[in-house]
Amino acid sequence: MATTTAKKAVLFDLGNTLWHIPERPPVDEIRKETVRRIYGLLGTWGVEPEGELRFLGRDIRLAIGAADKAAYESDQVSPDIPELVQTLVATKGLDISLEQSADLWHTWNLEGSFFGRRLFDDAIDTLDELRSRGLRFGCVTNRPYGGSTFLKEVTDLGLDDYFEVMSVSCDLGYMKPHAKIYEHALTAMDVAPEETVMVGDSLIADVRGAQVLGMTSVWNRHHEIDENNTDHVEPDFVIDELSELLHLPILQPNGRTPAG
């Protein structure tokens, strides 16, 4: 366990670590909003949603899901989503530019606010307390989109002031647990792996990915998560609520023993 060196930084995953979706909208509501947005965009291009184009939302979802899964289970090289969508649309007889493909992708991708995404109740208090102890924060996350759309979601939830670096898979081209996405954050923050803690909900992407580089891993085993540990990954620490970070011995101020 990489727990002996004093810790300077904490890297956080996002989904089911700092934020979550307590209750997703009904499937019909999601489908209806997706269709409305895609048909609206096609209309601005002078394209009628006929034939196979009527199922564009479904087909984008399936194509991206398959590409993400294949990448995660092989070389962890993040798929090029605009190129993927452009190729998919071409099979339906519609030639679009990469810029149009990116517009279609962002139109399809309903934002977190639509789904009711929110921070865990103890997220801000936990971050504030850890920061008061002198710890610095970075974000390392697998996301199918980044850039301004991602930054807006982070800002809308009040997290933009906390992270010194945001290492996003689609922006860097590598997905967790690939070493390069972690190395990007460590280099940007100028911290060594042994000085760093990684907190996330995935045993493979967050725990094993961090441990391979020598970071201390904290598995956020939230009640909603059911991940079969078929690879026998052993986290350095396990928590069920984010606020439990405050009681871990590795994150105490000035090396003090946690109270209680």
Question: Confidence band (pLDDT; 50, 70, 90) for 146?
Answer: confident
Please state, in angstroms and rounded to a whole number, the distance separating the CA atoms of residues 158 and 119: 9
Quick one: the chain helix, strand, coil %, rounded to 5?
50, 15, 40
Which tokens in the block code for residue 38?
């895609």
For 26, phi then psi, to 5°, come to -55, 150
Averaged pLDDT for residues 231-236: 89
Q: Does domain 9-22+117-255 have CATH number 3.40.50.1000?
A: yes
DSSP three-state, residue 199: strand
Which tokens in the block code for residue 208?
């094993």
Q: Are strands 118-119 and 19-20 parallel, antiparallel or unpaired?
A: antiparallel
Note the pTM of the prediction, 2 decimals: 0.91
Question: Confidence band (pLDDT; 50, 70, 90) for 98?
Answer: very high
147 sits in the region (left: phi over 0; alpha: psi -120 to 50; else beta) called: left
Averaged pLDDT for residues 135-152: 88
Q: What is the pLDDT of residue 255?
A: 53
Taking only the tens place, the pLDDT of each residue in 119-141 is 999 999 999 999 999 999 999 99
Averaged pLDDT for residues 44-63: 96
pLDDT at 3 over 70: no
Domain with CATH 3.40.50.1000 in the chain: 9-22+117-255
Calculate the average pLDDT of the chain.
92
pLDDT at 257 over 90: no
Which tokens in the block code for residue 26?
């009904």
